[in-house]
């Protein structure tokens, strides 16, 4: 064990919590174990789309309430603002799923999966930094639980509940661009002018946009060409994975539909949320008549709960 790791162990051991005996190796095992558990849950629910939809809705509602309270309290106490891509993803995913807005589910699912997986990989590749940068054992526990929940929601949307159209790829790409644009406005002081300047200069999303993210590995400034190549490479990777995310979902649903046709059963898209519930109530009261809504529109608005 390196001297740095020994310091981490001593720091964590001094904290009276369930993390007392955690080492970097233990953090890696925990992150991988929870990742695999989430995959098992999604696989077990692959043929239970209604249960998957309610699970995703419950997790999203919990995350929405918790993060709203969490950032509200810490904005006053510590001056924390939801400025990073992962912070914004918490609310994009939670609001989209809770509302049941199907055309935003691909953006919500992708951002949720990317945020969760990014944190998990960071914990596996550099567990020491994950342990040392946490303000407390409680904050570390919150981060692990929150990001694992995001990972689980992203998987549920991709494999079990989402039903995307390839023509809607632009929605996810535009949403990601707007999220990055919001972080840039924060960085230049146009949004959250009271945000700590030191915290503003350490925003990870800005380091990615500027191509400086590899400085965490090299520990020295990168030449301009390397920065441009890094930024362009990450941008290309994001666009490619967004497209791949849609392709996987479209093929999964096409396969499900074929199996339903062979079995002689009706293929149903289940989506729960505030908007589908309101539509169902309005239809029940006769405000909205089913005959006035086209088949494709009815299916895509997730009116079936």
d(CA 109, CA 153): 7
Q: Is 25 inside a domain boundary? A: yes
Which pLDDT does position 287 carry in this prediction?
76
Same domain, 280 and 220: no
C-beta of residue 182 within 8 angstroms of C-beta of residue 89 = no
Q: How many CB atoms lie under 10 A from the CB of residue 107?
A: 26
Which pLDDT does position 216 carry in this prediction?
66
b/e sequence 181-218, b meaning 16+ C-beta within 10 Å: ebbeebbeeeebeebeeeebeebbbbbbbebbbbbeee
Which pLDDT does position 245 carry in this prediction?
95
Q: How many CA atoms lie within 13 A of 78 on its CB side?
A: 10
Same domain, 108 and 229: yes
Same domain, 208 and 288: no
Which pLDDT does position 217 carry in this prediction?
65
C-beta of residue 60 within 8 angstroms of C-beta of residue 100 = no
* pTM, full prediction: 0.83
Same domain, 139 and 246: yes
Q: Is 277 inside a domain boundary? A: yes
Which pLDDT does position 102 carry in this prediction?
87
Same domain, 34 and 100: yes
Which pLDDT does position 40 carry in this prediction?
97
Over residues 183-219, the pLDDT tens digits come to 999 999 899 888 888 888 888 888 889 888 777 666 7
Which pLDDT does position 202 carry in this prediction?
84
Q: How many CB atoms lie under 10 A from the CB of residue 105?
A: 28
Which pLDDT does position 8 carry in this prediction?
45
Q: How many structural domains comprise the chain?
A: 2
Which pLDDT does position 171 carry in this prediction?
94
Same domain, 33 and 107: yes
Which pLDDT does position 75 carry in this prediction?
84
Which pLDDT does position 304 carry in this prediction?
39
Q: Is 128 inside a domain boundary? A: yes
155's CB contacts (< 8 A; 6+ apart) are 38, 39, 42, 113
Q: Is 268 inside a domain boundary? A: no
Same domain, 186 and 288: no
Which tokens hold the place of 255?
């396969």
Same domain, 102 and 215: yes
Closest C-alpha among 238, 275, 250 to residue 113: 238
Over residues 19-69, the pLDDT tens digits come to 555 678 888 899 999 999 999 999 999 989 999 999 999 999 999 999 999
Q: Is 3 inside a domain boundary? A: no
- Which residue ranges of the chain lie beneath pLDDT 50? 1-2, 4-6, 8-10, 12-18, 292-305
- Say how many Å lie between the first and final Cα of the chain, rounded: 54
Domain with 293, as residue range(s), is: 273-300
CA-based angle 235:174:123, to the nearest 5? 50
d(CA 172, CA 105): 9
Same domain, 279 and 160: no
Q: Is 2 inside a domain boundary? A: no
Which tokens hold the place of 24?
């970097």
Which pLDDT does position 155 carry in this prediction?
96
Q: Is 212 inside a domain boundary? A: yes
d(CA 172, CA 108): 8
Same domain, 233 and 292: no
């Amino acid at each position: 064990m390196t001297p740095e790791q020994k310091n981490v162990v001593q720091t964590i051991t001094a904290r009276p919590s369930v993390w007392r005996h955690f080492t970097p190796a233990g953090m890696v095992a925990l992150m991988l174990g929870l990742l695999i558990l989430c995959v098992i849950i999604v696989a077990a629910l692959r043929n239970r789309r209604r249960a998957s939809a309610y699970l995703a809705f419950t997790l999203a509602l919990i995350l929405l309430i918790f993060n709203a309270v969490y950032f509200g309290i810490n904005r006053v106490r510590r001056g924390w603002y939801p400025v990073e891509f992962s912070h914004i993803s918490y609310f994009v995913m939670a609001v989209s799923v809770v509302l049941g807005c199907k055309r935003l589910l691909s953006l919500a699912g992708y951002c949720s999966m990317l945020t969760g997986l990014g944190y998990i990989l960071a914990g596996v590749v550099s567990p020491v930094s994950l342990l040392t940068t946490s303000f407390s054992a409680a904050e570390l526990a919150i981060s692990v639980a929150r990001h694992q929940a995001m990972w689980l929601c992203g998987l549920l949307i991709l494999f079990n509940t989402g039903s995307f159209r390839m023509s809607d790829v632009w929605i996810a790409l535009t949403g990601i661009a707007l999220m990055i644009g919001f972080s840039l406005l924060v960085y230049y002081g146009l949004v959250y002018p009271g945000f700590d300047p030191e915290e503003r200069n350490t925003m990870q999303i800005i380091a990615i946009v500027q191509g400086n993210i590899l400085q965490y590995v090299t520990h020295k400034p990168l030449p301009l060409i390397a920065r441009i190549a890094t930024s362009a490479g990450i941008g290309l990777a994001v666009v490619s994975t967004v497209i791949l995310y849609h392709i996987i979902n479209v093929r999964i649903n096409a396969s499900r539909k074929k199996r339903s046709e062979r079995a002689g059963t009706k293929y149903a898209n289940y989506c729960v949320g505030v908007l589908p519930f309101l539509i169902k109530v309005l239809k029940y009261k006769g405000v909205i008549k089913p005959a006035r809504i086209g088949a494709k529109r009815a299916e895509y608005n997730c009116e079936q709960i």
